[in-house]
Amino acid sequence: MLLLCPTDRLVEGQSRGFEIEGGKLFAVRKDGQVHVYRNRCPHKGISLEWLPDQFLDASASLIQCATHGALFLIDSGECVAGPCAGQSLEALACMENSEGIWLIS
């Protein structure tokens, strides 16, 4: 397991990017649950954010690709609008405890 960050560094309705062993990923907290995905749009294979830690749309209810506006469900990574509709982000296993948010490899 690899520590991503302390629990308090990812509050409800926020996203946060990480670079681990040369790979990019990000985490989002929704309804108290943490979801971690590889930072790679299934449409173009590019990073999703346009500014550091900015992976969510204006309502903070969907993940949004900054390049072409594709929208993804936070809890499943499924694309619900845009050129990759029906495809999904790659989910990564994680867990959270009193020490922080952990990536399970």
79 strand-pairing partners: 72
| Confidence at residue 10, expressed as pLDDT on a 0 to 100 scale | 97
| Confidence at residue 6, expressed as pLDDT on a 0 to 100 scale | 97
Residue whose structure tokens are 């749309």: 57
Please give the chain's pLDDT, 105 residues, in tens: 999 999 999 999 999 999 998 899 999 999 999 999 999 999 888 999 989 999 999 999 999 999 989 999 999 999 999 999 999 999 999 999 999 999 997
| Confidence at residue 50, expressed as pLDDT on a 0 to 100 scale | 86
| Topology of the domain covering 2-103 | Rieske Iron-sulfur Protein (2.102.10)
48 strand-pairing partners: none
| Confidence at residue 59, expressed as pLDDT on a 0 to 100 scale | 95
pTM above 0.85, yes or no: yes
| Confidence at residue 105, expressed as pLDDT on a 0 to 100 scale | 78
Extended strands (E) in the chain: 2-5, 15-20, 23-30, 33-38, 62-64, 71-73, 79-81, 91-92, 94-97, 100-103
